[in-house]
Each structure stands twice: as C-alpha cells, then as structure tokens.
Structure 1
Amino acid sequence: MSFFTGKALPPLLMMAVISLPAMADEQPYTLSGMVGGGIGVKPAYLGARDDKTDFIPAVKLNYGPYFIGGVDTLTAVGWNFIDGEQWKFALGVGSDLSPRQASDDEHLKGLGDIDVTPRAFLSGIYENTLFKGGVIATQDVGGNHQGLRVITFAQLKWEPTETLSLFAGPTLSWGNSQYLQTQFGVTSEQSARSGLPRYRAGSGLEDVGINTGLDYQFAPSWVAGVRASALYLTSDAADSPITEQSSQIRYGLFVAWRF
C-alpha cells in the first residue's frame, strides 16, 4: 500500500501551492530551535523484557516553514505547508536511525537486522493553550517493504509558572501488514535460524499508551526536560514470538540550549 496514492493528497498540495505567493512578501526567515541531549532508558527492542540505556538527542531546528527534528520515531526534514495559529500540517522525509538489530538482545539471535530505510511522513496537529493532539502517518519509500504506520496522540498541557510546563495524554499506533510483519513477523528462514516458530503478523493496532513530560527553563536560553511513557503492545504485536513482554516503559532526562 502506498501512502501517497489516492485522492486525499493533491488538494492539500494545492492549498500549499496557493499559499506560496503570500510567503514571498514575508520577512526573511531566521533560524531558531534547540540543541542538546541527555540519557534515556528504554526496552532493548520493542517487545523486549530487558532495558538498555542510550544517549538521547534533543535537536529541533526551524527555518521559516522548514524544520529538522524528531517526527514519531524518525529523524526527519520537513515542511510546514500550512502553519496557522492552531492548525499545522507538515510533510517530509526521515528515517529511524537505530532500527532493531539482532545484536540488541539474545532473544533476537537468527532474526537478522531491520534495515535503515527512508520514510515519508504527513502530519496534522492542532494545539491551543491547554491541548495538543494530532495524527502522523509514515510510509516506507525506500523499497524495503516496511509499510505504513499511523500514530495519533492527545495531550493536556499545564503551565503553572512561566518557566515550568507539563503535559500528559494517550497515544495509539496502527500498522499495515508490511510494517507489522517486519517488526513482529517470523519468516520460514528466520524460524530455521532462530528456533522461534513461524509467525505471520497482519495489519491492526500495534500499541496503546500514555506519554508524560515536564520542561523547566532554568536560565534564559536553557531548558531541562523529563520524559516518560508507558505502552502496551496489542493484537498481533503482543502475540508474536518475538515479544517477550507486552508492557514497555521508557523514560529520560535531557538539557538543551534554545535560541
């Protein structure tokens, strides 16, 4: 299934093209964003019983409607082709730079590595002072048969002071059969090498969860943040012989310079 087929995308692109003449009269773009990093703890792979500790990059660069940063699990380059006070629509391309590797856990021995592949994305996000929510769809465009993934999220936001902000809310993700087979399926060849039973994953809900976060501005251009999430694998993802534990916890701490 190709994410960029059908009749939904052309009208959005037409709206973006119509907005281009107005952009020509605006002031020159300036570079803004944040650069930093921290430490995070997460499962060794999605479905693992054991955790691992990693460096967390905290990078988001904006230049007018263009940006570089994290989109879902991707490190991406994107374009906000509609950027209103509350609604924002973006498209671009990126990649998960650390997909699952057989060396991540003894349980994965014989399954082989999941390749790094370019993924196109389209997102729509609504935000006001108390709420943020949206949908992000990513599609493999590198010919590696890694399919389509769609996530949706909603967050309640609270700023008790000018320097402190908090958020929390639910998430869920869905994948088509190509995506879930890559992540949770076991082919005949993989079964022979690993000893795990052959398993075919079909399309469906991948996981449901909750995300929470806290940001504290401790200096005019510096911010420290804490992130924590809990998710529960469902359906074919939970039933896969690759999955050792359906409940997955992630948390981390970062510091970044804003400019």
Structure 2
Amino acid sequence: MTGEFPPAINIPPLRNPHGITVIFLHGRGFNAQKFHGSLLQTDICNHTFQEALPHARFVFPTAPLSRASKYRRILMHQWYDGTGDWEPEARGGMQPSIEHIHGLIRSEIEVAGNDSKRIVLAGFSQGAAMAFVSSLLWDGDPLGAVVGLCGFMPLASHLLSILDDDGFAPGADDVFEASQCADARTPHQKVLDELREEAELPGTQQISDFQFLSTPVFVGHGSADREVVVQHASQAGLLLQKLGLDVDFHIYEGLGHWYSASMLRDLVQFLATQLKVQPPLG
C-alpha cells in the first residue's frame, strides 16, 4: 500500500559464524526484490559478490510507494520525494524513511550481539543519499561502515557553504571544543541541525560527541553517470571529509549509473580492511 514499508528481504550468511550485516538500500524506482538478486550474483573475480562476503548477512528493505514529483507524479518506490539540492522543487518526506532505517539498524544490532560495529549501512543512488543522511543522524553507537554507490548528499552545496563560512577544518583540538558562547553551535552541529530540519526530525540539544566521525565511508561512482553526475558524488565525499570522516572515494571510468565488478571488488576490499571480514569461499 502507498506509504507503507514492505517487509525487508533477509539473506543469511553463506557460512557461519555470522560476521557483519549489510543493510542495502535500493535506488528510486526499484524495490528489494528487483535489486538484491543481481547485486549478490555479480561476478567479481571468480566469486559472486555474496560469495566474497560469505559471513555477511544481507538485509534489503523496500521504500514505500509515493508520487514522484520528478516523474510527473508517477507512483513508485522512493525513500523520499527528491534528489539533491540541484532539484529544490522536488524534496521532502525523509522522516518516515530515516526513522524506518534507524529502526532496522537497531534491530540488526540486536541480531549482531549488540555490536554496532558489525553493521554496514549501504545504498545505491537515492538509497546512497539515505545511507549518508541516516548515518549522520544516527544517535546510537557508531556503525562499522557506510557505503554510497552512484549517490549524492542532499543539501550538499548548502552544507558545504556552512562549513566554508565557518572557516572550518577538522582537527583533534577543535572538533569538539566548547564554545565560549553558551548558545554557539559547532559546524558539526549546524550541519546536523540543517539535516534534521530537512528531514523534519525533532531537534536535539547541542552535543559534544559526534560518534559518526569514527565510521569509515566508501563512495563509488561512474564517470559516465548521467542520472547523478559525478560532481554530486564528489560533493558528498568532500562534505564528509570536511566533517572529519575517513572517506575512500573511487571513480570508475566509463561507468554509467550502475555498479560494476570493479566497484564491488573495491567495496569488498574496503570492508576487509576496515572490518576484518573473513575471506571468500574457496
């Protein structure tokens, strides 16, 4: 039904013990059923993507059906009605999706023995945008990793201008430094407040600990992507870097708006390095 979140597709690990859980968000116009099969079965150097992560549990949620302003109000699965700030006329409705994704994260943390570092939040296209925003607004313990393929950051230009106006550059001595003014906000807090306002989420008091800073990020994008041009991925990566996150950024020459074997191979290597995942089936 319109506005409802269908049950997620859960794929158990190919091999025990259960290591990490990858929550993977599809792009606009897709659903979990259409998206998950081809992704998991993509051949990456004598192994499928799933076989390359044999101890991973995969969770594929589906976005609700809603009217897409960009496509003449056609009814389709989308996480919210819009893309980035280059299309300001089509934006809104993030709150239900972010709350749903946060609920999935909490549930999967329990499945993973209450270890948030075993959770990877990933997304493709608009799903990548939701992964970025949801991870920045996540108020629990830090996740293991965040992944954005062929994606973008909503409000990227605006958020970058906030950091630039503050003359902000992250550093160990000043990221969490308390302001001399009681009501002053750090650049981090300003960015989070803007995202919360965009997502229509309740505001929070000024905080002194931004746990998302310890979560590594993988960004992969095709140079020939016409749906989401590579500039938008670059802005997303730059914003996350300016916030102080460790971003592993890759551009794939000649690739359009889709993933590739080399992209997924790099992603597996990233997860192996960051989360010490066990080797593929042999």
* TM-score, structure 2 normalization: 0.28
> Larger C-alpha radius of gyration, 1 or 2?
1
Larger RCO (CA under 8 A, 6+ residues apart): 2
* TM-score, structure 1 normalization: 0.30
Higher helix share: 2
